[in-house]
Structure formats: C-alpha cells, structure tokens
Structure 1
Amino acid sequence: MRLLAAFLLWVLATVTLAVAVPATWAQHNLVDRDGYSALATSAAKDPAVQQAMAAALTSQLMTLSANAGYSSADVNETLLNGAARAYTSGDAFPGQFALANQVAHRWLFTDSVGVSDASGRWEIDLSPMLADSSFQQTLADYGIKAPETLQIPLTENISQSLRPGKFREVAKWGPWVSVGSAILAGVFALLTLAVAKRRGKALGALGVSGLVVGAAGWAGIEVGRRYVDDGLAATSDDVRNVAGAMVDHAIGSLHLWLNLTIAAGAALVLFGVLVSMLGGLRRT
C-alpha cells in the first residue's frame, strides 16, 4: 500500500512539474509585460532579429516613398537597407524594439489599445524608432529624410486567430497556474519522499521526473511550433519575419530552462544512487 501511494504521488509530482516548468517560463517571459520587454530587449541583440527588423523598416520606408510619389529609381533601396541595418545593430535599437513590442503585447493581452486602418487591419506605429536620434542621424548620413509616422499592420486581414485581447484570459490566470503548479510539484515531491520506504530510490525517481519533463518539453516544442507558425500566418509579411525570429529566440530561452530541468534531474538521480549506496552500506 505504501509503495502504491508513493507511486501515485510520484506521478502527480511529475505531472505538476510538467505543467510548472513551461507555465513558469511563459509567465516570466511572455505573459508578464516586463518579462516580455526583457525578452524583446534580449532578442533585439540577435542578428536574425536585427536583420528581419531592418528588412521590415526598409519595406515600409519604400512603401511610404512610393506613396509620396517617388519611383523605385528615385529611392535607393540598398541605401535604405544600409541605414536600417546600421540602426538595428546600434545600441539604441534594443530599447526602441522593446517599446514597440510592449505595444504589441498590450494589443494581444488586453483590448484597450490598438489602431486600425481603413480595412480594419490592426497596426502598430514604429515612429518612435524613426524619432530616435541615432536613426535620424544614420538616415541623414545617407541623405534620407525619415517620415514622421511608420504604421505597420500586424495582420493582413481581420483574423480570429490573432485579434486584440486574444490572450486576456491567459494574463488573468497565468500567474495562478504558474505559481500553483510549482507549489503542487514541490508538495507532491516532498510527500513522495515522506511516504517512500527507501529515500534513495525516491530521490532517483524524482530525478527521472526531471529527465522526463525536460525531454518531453523538447518534443513538445517541436509539435507546438507548427501551431505557432499557423498563428503567424495571419500576420503581415514584415511582422511574420520579425515574429519568427523572435520565436526562435524565445525557443532558445525555453530550451535553456528545459536543459536546466534535465540537469537537475540527472543530479537528483546521481544523488539518489549515492543515498541508496550509503543506506546499503549502513545496513550491512
């Protein structure tokens, strides 16, 4: 009976840990606005994100130039892209990129902000980037006059898969799920140790839980990436490229958490083996 109770508690500890690790990561890096801003700031230092954002800025500047009556022969796209690349690789870009992402974050996690164009597409204004003194100076070095506004549509059309306030319930319940699952995982782990007849084997089993959760997390990312790509399909080309690069950066962050979970599990398995060996020596 004691063995069955320990097994059931171990299963509960494993399940709650499988919820706690991704939920805590998501709450810290995606749901929480400050955490997401920090993630965006870190992502802005990634060359892939810088390149995608430079392409987005170049595309929008070319569109605005065309709308102002300039032909493609009048505007040197290579120079525009060079200016954008110089800006996105500069020190001011991470902070400006984080501010723009805060707008997108509020757009998804609340429905209190947002701007729509005549067709109903939701947009964000990247003019703060153009207003940055370093970008203005970079453009001036190329003889380019920056526009006062730069609206980029988040979606090609009005979409039910990506709309204002889509994740409002996640923002409401996310903290409860992350904290609650972490507490339950700890409680079930302690109960497993308390009920188990042999502490060494129980520690080893809890270490296996970490290994299983980490490995399952890696597999889950590969499966979930398809759904993320489907969601990004509703966005405009420029936003899709930038968001795709950010998703890759975020996945790298989640991989780190999963690797730490695996490492902790392996250490716990070794510790359990050591405890079992010492217990065996003590009994002989």
Structure 2
Amino acid sequence: MRTFLSGLLTVVAMVAIVVAFPSLWVKERLVDSEGFVATITPMAQNEQVQDYLAGQIADSVAEEVGIAATAPVVEPAARAYTHSDAFEADFVDVVSQQHAWLFDEPPAGSDTTTMQLDITDMVNRVIAQTGVDARVSGPILVPLSGSGGAGLEAGRYHEVGRQITAMAYASLAVAIAAGVLALLFARRRSVVLAWLGVAVVVSAVFAWAVALFFSDRAKAEVEAAEEGGREVSAVIIDGAASDLQDLALVVGGIGVGVVILGVIGRLASGRR
C-alpha cells in the first residue's frame, strides 16, 4: 500500500510539475503587468524598434504641423531620441499600454478591434529637442494591430489570463504537496527523486514547445497590421519567446541534475 501511494503521488507530482513551470512563466512574465513590462522593456534597445518608432514620431510631428516635408527634418532628432536613455522610460509606458489592451477589460463603447499606442509623450520630447516652443496635446495614436476585426482585440486575454493564473498556482501547490508526500511514503526515495527530475526535464521541453507555439500564434494575430508595425511586433514576440526558452534551458539543466542525484542515491543504496 505504501509503495502504491508513493507511485500514485509521484505520477500526480510529475504531471503537476510539467504544467507548473510554463504556466508560472506565462503568469509571471505575461499576465502580470510588471512582469510583462520587465520582459518586453529590453526590446527598447533593439534598433528595428527604435527606427520604427522614430519614423512614427517624425510622421506624427509632420502631421501635427500640417507640413509633410518636415518629417525628414524631424527624423534625425527622433532617431537621436530613440537611441537615448530617455527613450526607455517612454517605451515602458507604451509597453504598459500594450498589456492593458490585451489583459484588461475594455471600457464600454470603446474601439476593441485595433490596438493603438499613444506616443504623445515621445512626440513632445522630440519637439522639445528641436528647440521649438510647442507642445502637442494629443493623443497621438499609432495602430499596432490590424483593423476591421483582424488582429488582437482589446481584452482578448483577460479571462485566459485569470485561468492561467489559477492553473499556475494550483499546479505549483499540487506539485509541492504530492512530491513531498511521495518522498515521505517512498521506500526508495532516490527513485522518486529521479522521476521528479525527469518531470522537470519534460516540463522544460514542454515550455520550449509552448514558446514556439506562442510565437507562431502571436505573429499570426498581428498579420493584418501594416508592415512596420508587424515587424516590430515580431521583434517583441520573439523577445518574449526567447526569454521562456532561455529559462527552459536552465530548468532543464536543473532537472538533469536532480535525475543524476537520484540515480547516484539509488546506486549508493544498492551497494549498501
């Protein structure tokens, strides 16, 4: 009976471990607003993102003054700004807007079909750098997803985010409880430890697959956006997927270490 309980609890713990790691990453790095910002903010150093927003800022300034020919004049100042330290703080605000669009419930009567980012602060900062004594009241909105029902609708991941958060906490609790009980009931704890290590490795592989699926799915969501916005979205998506894959390698390595520890323990107990 003791061996049966230990085996059953080990299986339960293994399943929970496989689910826990990727769901916790999604909860902490995407669903949580601070985690989302921390995940995406490094993309402020990406030259493609910087150039895209510099072009959008220059075009917005030209549109505000009503003279299209001013865009080439303003663009050098916009590029200097997007390559400066001040840009990252404003980029964090834009990233926060993205998170709110995806995970917050949209206000009643608002446009829910097109993700638009307010870059008014960026435009005003560039105008100030040119020495012009003027300020745009805004909002200056840049569409980042498709329109007419295509792309990412506002609040699309609101409910999904809540479900993933619940799953992450539940799977973590089950993994810890079942794993500890399995070790307590086990006659050969080293064997149980090795199997738990295998589950950690499988969880890392599963997380890697989740990153690939997330990347492909997210890129398909923004396929209807204009080319520049689509390319920038792809950079951001790849950055998030890479974060999960890098962490999966670390977790997989830890799992391999646990397996080796369990095997060594089993061999040592066998000699005794």
Report TM bin, short chain: 0.7 to 0.9
After superposing the two structures, state which structure 1 stretch, 154-163 or 28-37, moved more: 154-163
Distance 1:114 1:106 in 2: 15
2:218 equivalent to 1:224: no
C-alpha displacement of 1:195: 3.2
The one-letter code matched in structure 1 to 2:42 is: S
2:51 equivalent to 1:54: yes
C-alpha displacement of 1:23: 1.3
Percent of residue pairs identical: 26
User: Given that residues 57 and 119 in structure 2 are in contact (C-alpha distance below 8 angstroms), is that contact kept between their aligned partners in structure 1?
Assistant: no
TM-score by length of 1: 0.81
C-alpha displacement of 1:207: 1.0
Write out per-residue CA displacement over residues 38-61 of structure 1, whole angstroms, 9 at most, x where no aligned residue. 22333323x2xx422422330453
Distance 1:209 1:122 in 2: 39
**Against the structure 1 CA distance between its residues 94 and 257, is the aligned structure 2 distance closer, same or farther, given a 3 Å change threshold?**
same
Decide which of 208, 211, 216 is 2:201's aligned counterpart: 211
Distance 1:178 1:160 in 2: 30
Match of 1:167 in 2: 157
Q: Over the residues paired in the alignment, what is the CA RMSD in angstroms?
A: 3.1
Residues 114-193 of structure 1 correspond to what in structure 2 (within 5 A)?
121-132=114-125, 135-140=126-131, 149=138, 150-159=140-149, 162-193=152-183
**Against the structure 1 CA distance between its residues 114 and 82, is the aligned structure 2 distance closer, same or farther, given a 3 Å change threshold?**
farther
User: Given that residues 96 and 128 in structure 1 are in contact (C-alpha distance below 8 angstroms), is that contact kept between their aligned partners in structure 2?
Assistant: yes
Alignment gaps of 5+ in structure 1: none
Match of 2:24 in 1: 24
C-alpha displacement of 1:230: 1.0
Match of 1:12 in 2: 12
Q: Secondary structure at the match of 2:117?
A: strand
Distance 2:120 2:61 in 1: 13
Distance 2:82 2:48 in 1: 8
The one-letter code matched in structure 1 to 2:39 is: L
TM-score by length of 2: 0.84
Write out per-residue CA displacement over residues 64-107 of structure 1, whole angstroms, 9 at most, x where no aligned residue. 63686545xx3463x54443332222111121111112122112
Distance 2:225 2:102 in 1: 13
Q: Secondary structure at the match of 2:85?
A: coil
Residues 227-246 of structure 1 correspond to what in structure 2 (within 5 A)?
227-246=217-236
Distance 1:57 1:254 in 2: 29
Alignment gaps of 5+ in structure 2: none
